Chains A and B, each alone.
Chain A
C-alpha cells in the first residue's frame, strides 16, 4: 500500500516538469512555430530559478525568475525565427547550445548549495486519508499548477475565439494573414508562452524535485517534452496521458534499481530515451491519412505588404 502510494507520488513529481514544458510547446506549435530550444530554455530556467531562490530564500521568487528567464530566451528565438525568418530548426538548436552555456555560467557559483524545496500541501484530515490522501491533497504547488495549466490551455484552444485564431495561424498562415490577423504577433506571444512554461518547468527541478542545482540537470527532459507534443498529436488531453506515462517510465527505472533487478543501472536509465524513439516510430506509423501536425508547423512566414 505504502509502496504504491510512494510510486504514484514519485510519478507525479517526475511527470510535472514534462507536462509543463510540453504544454508550452504545444501552444507554440499550434501557432505554427517549431521551437526546438525547449531544453535550452528549461536549463536556463533551472539555473536562474535556483540562483534567485537561494539568494532570496523564496521558492516563489525562484519560480518567477525561472519563468522570466525562459521567456527572455524565447524572445531571442522569436526575434530570430519570426522577425528575421531564420530556419526554425537551426535557431532552436542554437538556443539550446546557448542555454547550456548560460546555465553553466549562471549556476557555477551555486553548485553544492542547498535550499528548502517547495512545501507540500497539508490539509489535516484529507491529506491523511490512506492511498489517495497524499496523492490528491499533498502535492507541491507546481503539480496543481501544471494540471490547471493544461486545462486552461485546452479551454483556450478549443473554447475561445483567440484560441481558434491561434490554431488558424498554425494551420494556414497565409489565410490567417489575408483575414487580417497579425500572424507574427500571435506567434510571438505563443512562443513566449512556451518559453515561460519551459522556464518554469526547468525551475521546478531544483526548486521542488531536488533541492540543489547541478549543471545539465534537465538531462534531455526538454527533448522528451518535444517528443510528447508529437506523441499527443498536438492535443492537450493526450498530452496529459503521455506526460504521466513518461514520468512512470522514469520512476520505473529508479525503482527497478531499488528492487535489485539484475540489469545495469545505465540500461535502465536509457529506458525513457529508448521509449521516446519507439513511441515516435509507433505513433508516426499509426497516423493514417497524413500527419495531424499543424499544417504550417516549422515553415517560415514573411508577410508581403
Chain B
C-alpha cells in the first residue's frame, strides 16, 4: 500500500480554514498517548494544560503576558515567510533588543531621568533588533549566503553577548553574585494595565502591531508585493517587484518587532536583564506564525493558544509533576501536524494498493 499525492485543481479554502483545528486535534490525541506513556492520567493532564489556566483571572492575565512577545515576533516572521525570506533567528533579535533597551535603563539607573526613558528604550530596542536582522538579510542579498544558517548562528552570538554583559560590566553589585542587572527604575518599566495584576502595556502594543500588519497586507501595495513575491516569484519578476528589497524590508521589520518584544519582556514581566529571559519565544513564534496561517488575526489566536500551552505546562508541572519539556514536545508535534495538514490544502491524499502498483510497473 502506498500513499500518493494528487494535486488539487485549486487550493481548498474549506480545508485551509479547518486544517489548524485538525492539527490541534491530532496533537491532543498524540499528547494523550504521551501522557499515558509517562504514567499520568491523560484526562487530568489535559485539564491541567487546557482548562485550568482558563478558569481564573490570574492565569488569564498570564496567558496574555506570554502571548504578547509570541504574537509580536510571529507577526514579523509571517511577513518574512510570506515573502519567502527565512528569518529563523528571531530569538537572537529578541535578545539584542532586550540588551540595547536595557543599556538605557542601566545607564540612567538611580538618576532622576524623566519620562523619556521608556520610549527611548523601546525605540533603541526596535532599531537594534532591525540592525541585527539586517546582517543575515544583507549577507543573503549581497553574497547569496543562506539566511537560515546566518540568522541562526547570530542567535548564539546574541546569547553569549547578553551573558557577558550581565556577568561582567552590567552585573548588579548588590545581586549576591547572581548574573543579573539591578531592578530597573520605575521610569524604565513598562506600566501595568491592571493594578496589582501582571497585564502590561505591551499587550496593547501587540494588538496595535496585529492591526498594522492586517492593514499592511490587505490595504497597501507593499503588502501585495510581499504576498506576490512569496507566492509567485516569477510573476513578481515580470511585475518588476524587487525581491531583494523585500528581503531587506521584511527582515528589518521582523527584527524590529522581535527587538521590541525583547525590551518589553525585560522592562515588563522580568524587570531586569538576566540570562534566560526567553523560554525560546523566537522559536515558538515560528510555530505561532504557521499555526496562524501567516495571517495577522490567525497569529493573534495562535499566539494565545501557544501561550496557553506555556501556562498549562507550568500548571501541569506543579499539579502533576509533568516535566516542563513536555510543553516543547507538544509545540514541536503541533508544528508537524500543522504543516502536514497544510499539505491537504494543495493535495488530495490517495492510498494505492500494491497489486495495482505492480500492474502499472509491468505496463
A105 engages B153 (CB within 8 Å): no
Q: CB-CB < 8 A to A163: which residues of B? A: none
CB-CB nearest in chain A for B151: A277
A101 engages B329 (CB within 8 Å): yes
A86 engages B340 (CB within 8 Å): yes
A77 to chain B, nearest CB (A): 9
B163 engages A80 (CB within 8 Å): no
Q: CB-CB < 8 A to B164: which residues of A? A: 264, 266-267
Q: CB-CB < 8 A to B135: which residues of A? A: 277
Interface check B218, CB cutoff 8 A: no
Interface check B287, CB cutoff 8 A: yes
A83 to chain B, nearest CB (A): 6
CB-CB nearest in chain A for B286: A93
B328 engages A223 (CB within 8 Å): no
Interface check B148, CB cutoff 8 A: yes
Q: For the complex, give the distance between the alpha carbons of A277 and B155 in Å.
A: 12
B289-340 CB contacts (< 8 Å) to partner A: 290, 323-333, 335-336, 339-340
**Segment touching A, from B11-19, B137-145, B203-211, B250-258:** B137-145
- Per-residue 0/1 for A86-120: is the Cβ within 8 Å of any B Cβ (1 yes, 0 no)? 11011101110111111011001000000000000
Our pick among B7, B144, B152, B287 for the contact of A97 (Cβ within 8 Å) is: B287
CB-CB nearest in chain B for A102: B329
Q: For the complex, give the distance between the alpha carbons of A43 and B167 in Å.
A: 28
If A98-B332, A105-B323, A220-B156 touch, whether A280 touches B149 (CB-CB below 8 Å) is yes
Q: CB-CB < 8 A to A230: which residues of B? A: 146, 149
If A223-B152, A227-B153, A302-B7 touch, whether A280 touches B145 (CB-CB below 8 Å) is yes
Interface check B51, CB cutoff 8 A: no
A80 engages B339 (CB within 8 Å): yes
Interface check A273, CB cutoff 8 A: yes
Our pick among A98, A264, A284 for the contact of B168 (Cβ within 8 Å) is: A264
Interface check B3, CB cutoff 8 A: yes
Q: CB-CB < 8 A to A291: which residues of B? A: 144
**B-side interface mostly:** helix
Q: For the complex, give the distance between the alpha carbons of A20 and B326 in Å.
A: 29
A108 engages B325 (CB within 8 Å): yes
If A273-B156, A284-B144 touch, whether A101 touches B331 (CB-CB below 8 Å) is yes
A277 engages B3 (CB within 8 Å): no
A232 to chain B, nearest CB (A): 14
CB-CB nearest in chain B for A83: B3
Interface check A141, CB cutoff 8 A: no
A268-297 CB contacts (< 8 Å) to partner B: 269-270, 273-274, 276-277, 280-285, 287, 291
B30 to chain A, nearest CB (A): 11
Interface check A166, CB cutoff 8 A: no
CB-CB nearest in chain B for A89: B86
A105 engages B325 (CB within 8 Å): yes
Q: CB-CB < 8 A to A91: which residues of B? A: 336, 339
A14 to chain B, nearest CB (A): 16
- Taking beta carbons and an 8 Å cutoff, which residues of A are in contact with B? 36, 76, 80, 83-87, 89-91, 93-95, 97-102, 104-105, 108, 219-220, 223-224, 226-227, 230, 264, 266-267, 269-270, 273-274, 276-277, 280-285, 287, 291, 302, 305
- Taking beta carbons and an 8 Å cutoff, which residues of B are in contact with A? 3-5, 7, 86, 88, 135, 139, 142-146, 148-150, 152-154, 156-157, 160-161, 163-164, 167-168, 283-284, 286-287, 290, 323-333, 335-336, 339-340, 342-343, 346-347, 349, 360
